[in-house]
Amino acid sequence: MTSVPMPPGPLSTAESPAAVPDRPVGSATRKESSPAVVRAPLHRLPSLTGLRWIAAMLVFGFHVGTMHVIADPDYKAVVDRLFSLGLSGVQFFFILSGFVLVWSARVGEPRHVFWRRRIAKIFPSHVAMWAVVLLFGVYYWAEPQNLKVLLSNLFLVQAWNPTPGWFYSVNTVSWSLSCELFFYLCLPLALPLIRRARPWMLYAVVVAMPLLILSVWPAQALLPEADRWWFSQVFPLVRSLEFWLGVAAGELMRRGCWRGPNLPVASAIFVATWMIASFWIPAQWWTTLLAVAYVLVIAAAANADLRGTWSPWRSRPLVWLGEVSFAFYLVHVFVVTTVLRMTGTIGGFTSWRGPAAAIGFLLLNLVVAWLLFRLVEKPMMRLLAPPRRHGPAAGTAAPATAATAPDTKAPVVIIPRQPGKER
C-alpha cells in the first residue's frame, strides 16, 4: 500500500463544468420589464475546469513536501513555503463540487439517474486504481492485507471509520471519494428544499458554513486526541460544510442573485488571503478564510463565463489539464511513492535533483493520468452513465430565475445588470 506522512487532499469528482449541459435546472419566466436584470445566453463554465487544475497543483505541491521528494533543506523550504496551504485544495474541490452539481442538476431528473451518473464518473477510475495499488502491495511489496479494510475502501465507506489504517488505505487519496459519495447521496434529497429556498436563506448558508468550519476546531477538543485529525479533515459530515457552501453559492448564481465581486477583485482577495494566511494566520483561522476566498473565486469565474468577460482560466491548455485533474489526483501519490520505493530514494533526492524530480513527477503523473482518463474514465462514462435528456421533464415546476426567449428554445439565465453598463 502507499502511505504518506500527511494525508492527501481530495479532488472533487464533480462532472467537469466544460461538460455541463447547456440547460440549467428548469426554465421559467421573469417579467420583461424588470430593470434589474438582463438576459444572457447560458454558457458552459470552462473557467471552473481550468481552476480545478490550479487546485490540483496545490495538492500536488503539498505532497511533494510531505512525501520528501526533495531532500535538500534549502530547496525543500521553498516548496514548503509555496505550498504550505496546499492541503486547502481540499476545500476548493469540495466547494467546487457543490457549485457545479447544483448548477448542472436537471429538472425532473430522477434521483437514481443522478446517482448513476455520479457513480459512473468516480467508480471506474477508483476501482482501476484500487486494483493496481493492491496488486503492487500484494505481489511487489508483499504487504499484509486486511479484507475488511480492502472492502471498505473499494465501496468508498472508509472515511466513516476513524480507526488508523482504515480511512487512509489502499489508494490513500480515495478517502475524499468516500466524502464525495456521501455528498452525491445527499444532494438529490436536499434539492427540492434548495430550489424553494429564498435568496436570503441561501446567503445565510454562505455566511454560516465558514463559521461552522471555524467551529470544528474547538469541537474536536471534545474527542480523543487520536480521532481529532480524522474528525476535522476526513469525517464526511464535517467536510460536507464545504460542499453545502458551494451548493448555496451555485444556486444563487443559477438564479442570477449572486452579488459577489468580479473575477479580478475576487482573485486579488484570494491572493491576499493566501499570503496573509501563509505567514500570520493559525490553521484554525485560515481554513475559514480560504473557504471564503475560494467560493468568491469560483463564483466570479463562473460569472465571467456567463457574461463572456475575460478569464485566464478558460484557456484550452488549462481546460485540458482540468479535465484530467481527477485522474491526476487518483494516481499522483501512488506514482510518487512507487518510484521513490523502487529507486531507494525514500528520503528524497539531493541537491538540484530534488526540484528536477518534482518536475519529473509532475510530467510522469500527467502521462499516467491522461492514460487513465482516456482508457478508463471517458469510455466508462459513455458506457455506464445514462443518456442525457434534452430539455426539462414535462410537468416540472420552473424556477423563477431562468427564462426562455419566446422565439427560440435556447435557454438563457438571468444575470444582474452591472451598474453603469447598458446592453
> Which residues are CB-contacts of 152 (< 8 A; sequence separation ≥ 6)?
158, 161, 166, 169
- The sheet with strand 402-404 has its strands ordered as 37-41, 411-416, 402-404
pLDDT confidence of residue 112: 92
Burial of 251-270, coded b for 16+ CB within 10 Å and e otherwise, reads bbbbbbbbebeebeebbebb
**Residue 96, all three cell numbers:** 467546487
Torsion of CA 161, 166, 169, 173, to 10 degrees: 30
Cβ pair 23, 107 in contact under 8 A: no
Cα 86 to the chain's mean position, in Å? 14
Q: How many Å is the maximal CA-CA distance in the chain?
A: 72
pLDDT confidence of residue 419: 42
Give percent helix, percent strand, percent coil of the chain, each to the nearest 5: 65, 5, 30
Per-residue pLDDT of the chain (423 residues; tens, 9 = 90+): 444 434 333 333 334 433 333 333 333 333 333 333 333 344 579 999 999 998 899 999 999 999 989 998 989 888 888 888 888 888 899 999 999 999 988 878 899 999 999 999 999 999 999 999 999 988 788 788 899 999 999 999 999 999 999 999 999 999 999 999 999 999 999 999 999 999 999 999 999 999 999 999 899 989 999 999 999 999 999 999 999 999 999 999 999 999 999 999 999 999 898 888 877 777 667 888 899 999 999 999 999 999 999 999 999 999 999 999 999 999 999 999 999 999 888 888 988 999 999 999 999 999 999 999 999 999 999 998 887 665 443 333 333 333 333 333 333 344 444 444 433
Q: Could you tell me the residue ranges of all domains in the chain? A: 50-387
- In order of 37, 303, 326, 416, the CA distances from 34 in angstroms are 6, 20, 42, 11
Report the candidate in 385, 388, 333 with the shortest Cα–Cα distance to residue 361: 333
pLDDT confidence of residue 140: 81
Which three-class secondary structure state does DSSP give residue 3? coil
